[in-house]
Amino acid sequence: MNKTELVRFFDHTNLNQDATDSDINKLCMEAIEHNFYSVCVNPSYVTFASELLQNQKPIVCSVVGFPLGSNKSDIKLQEALLAVTDGADEIDMVVNIADIKNGNYEKITDEVSTIRKNLPFNIILKVIVESQNLSDTEIKKIAGILIDCDVQYIKTSTGFFGGATIENVELIKSIVGEKIKIKASGGIKTYSDCIKLIKAGADRIGSSASINIIDSID
At 218, the pLDDT band (50, 70, 90 cuts) reads: confident
141-177 tens-digit pLDDT: 999 999 999 999 999 999 999 999 999 999 999 999 9
**Residue 218 is a catalytic residue:** no
Q: Can you give the residue ranges of every domain in the chain?
A: 3-215
The catalytically annotated residue of 155, 173, 181, 193 is 155
Q: How many CB atoms lie within 10 A of CB 22?
A: 8
Residue 140 annotated to the active site? no
Given the residues 11, 92, 99, 193, the one annotated as active site: 92
Read off the pLDDT of residues 10-26 as tens digits, 9 standing for 90 and up: 999 999 999 999 999 99
Helices (H), 35-72: 46-52
Domain 3-215 part of CATH 3.20.20.70:
yes
Dist. CA 7–CA 24, nearest whole Å: 19
Compute the half-sphere exposure of residue 182: CA atoms within 13 Å on the CB side of its CA: 28
69-103: pLDDT as tens digits: 999 999 999 999 999 999 999 999 999 999 999 99
Does the active-site annotation cover 155? Answer: yes
Question: Backbone dihedral region of 215: left (phi > 0), alpha (psi from -120 to 50 degrees) or beta?
Answer: alpha
Checking phi first, is residue 160 left (phi over 0); if not, alpha (psi -120 to 50) or beta? alpha
Query: DSSP 3-state assignment of 206?
Result: strand
pLDDT band at 3 (very low <50, low <70, confident <90, very high): very high
Instruction: Name the average pLDDT for the chain.
Output: 97
Identify whether the C-beta of residue 33 lies closer than 8 Å to the C-beta of residue 4.
Answer: no
The one catalytic residue in 11, 181, 183, 193 is 183
